[in-house]
Amino acid sequence: MIELRPFATLGAANHGWLDARHHFSFASYYEPERTQWGALRVWNDDAIAAQTGFPPHPHQDMEIVTYVRQGAISHKDSLGNQGRTEAGDVQVMSAGTGITHAEYNLEDEETRLFQIWILPDERGHAPSWGARPFPKDDRSGKFVTLASGFADDSDALRIHAQARVAGALVRAGETIRYETTPERHLYLVPATGRVRIGDIEANARDGVAITDVTAFEITALEDSELVLVDAA
């Protein structure tokens, strides 16, 4: 099954400083057919105004992956971690038994990012945070794993879930293939560009839900930046 979820159908909440789109039910947006996709619970498409952000707030038992598309986000948490994650890079926060954090756009331009929440494989992990750069040249024409709970993804940021978050850059006319197993739940969003998957065309910021397949091919109709979650 491959299902297109157009950007225009996503949940929306504009708070002035934050313009958010929700691929799944979140906060005041509730869509019973889109509460989660396997272990993938949240995919928010956020635009954060310059010099604003999320003040300190708590989380528990959730793997939170932030993929920065434009600008940068500055993180600070109750464990003493702090850092700045730039466009194209990724940060991971494992909320575990509990963590309080703040995320601010301290830049002079709007920050755009994907905020992805994945349910952990079990409750009660120790909380943690980490970030690292992933050069875009390394993911040209192929998926590169950015965050993962699988031991063989040794170069990725760690999460406590049988899932991975991957990114790819595909030039117009190129095709890449992703192999999987039928029970997996995959969710693909083109951050930029336009792609074809089977008979479906997906534009930038559309969602594509995929399951019950063993493999699929993605053909770029324009130069495209792709983000994929492969979850249980």
CATH number at residue 193: 2.60.120.10
Structure tokens at 230: 């492969």
Per-residue pLDDT of 190-209, as tens digits, reads 999 999 999 999 999 999 99
Assessment of whether the complete model's pTM goes beyond 0.75:
yes
Q: What is the mean pLDDT of residues 214-226?
A: 98
What is the predicted pLDDT for the residue at 135?
Answer: 80
CA–CA dist 7, 35 (Å, integer): 16
What is the predicted pLDDT for the residue at 138?
Answer: 85
Q: What is the mean pLDDT of residues 70-87?
A: 98
What is the predicted pLDDT for the residue at 134?
Answer: 85
Which region among 20-29, 90-99, 106-115, 130-139 has the lowest average model confidence (pLDDT)? Answer: 130-139
Picking from 104, 60, 65, the residue whose alpha carbon sits closest to that of residue 84 is 104
* CB-facing half-sphere around the CA of 149: CA atoms within 13 A: 21
Per-residue pLDDT of 20-77, as tens digits, reads 999 999 999 999 999 999 999 999 999 999 999 999 999 999 999 999 999 999 999 9
User: CB–CB of 31/25 below 8 Å?
Assistant: yes
Per-residue pLDDT of 146-169, as tens digits, reads 999 999 999 999 999 999 999 999
% of the chain beyond a pLDDT of 70: 100
| Other Cβ atoms closer than 10 A to 98 | 11
What is the predicted pLDDT for the residue at 180?
Answer: 98
The number of folded domains in the chain is 1
The number of residues in the chain equals: 232
What is the predicted pLDDT for the residue at 136?
Answer: 79
Amino acid, single-letter form, for residue 116: I
Q: Is the pLDDT score of 218 beyond 90?
A: yes
Range of the domain at 92: 2-231
| Other Cβ atoms closer than 10 A to 57 | 10
